Amino acid sequence: MLRLDPNLAAHVVAATTKASAASKFTPLLFMGVIFAAMYFLVLRPRNKKAQKARTEAQSAGVGSRVLLAGGLVATIIAERGDEYDVMLSPDTTATVVKQAVLRVYVPTGEGSTATSDETPQTAVGDSEASA
């Protein structure tokens, strides 16, 4: 006949308790690793980019061409406290708050004849053939 150790149940319970205590913290540890990865891969670079944009916008001064929050490009002609007077066209001026300046404007493709977002130019022979 097979005799069982009376302390066998106590040993099994003790081993299970130790294993389950370690497994309780595994999901928490996994969540911590995921959070750290998200911080270093997403949040930190985005915050650095935003800080750089704020610094660049604050460096704008009189004579700078800037991109405004509404998508307008303007030239700063005067600075008063927390406002700028900007020139939108030679005969149009406006007053905007400094927070409306997104960045200093540098046109893409300046000096080139075409950019990738423009419509392609048709050759002279193509327009005559289609007419």
Tens digits of residue pLDDT in 31-89: 999 999 999 999 999 999 989 888 887 888 888 899 999 899 999 999 998 899 999 99
Q: Sheet with 83-89: list strands edge to edge.
A: 92-97, 83-89, 73-80, 65-68, 101-104
Q: Containing H/E element for 95?
A: strand 92-97
Helix H or strand E encompassing 126: helix 124-130
Question: 81-106, pLDDT tens digit by residue?
Answer: 889 999 999 999 999 998 888 888 88
Q: Is the pLDDT of residue 131 over 50?
A: no
Domain residues of the chain, as ranges?
Answer: 7-58, 61-108
Note the pLDDT of residue 26: 86
To the question of domain 61-108 being in CATH 2.30.30, the answer is yes
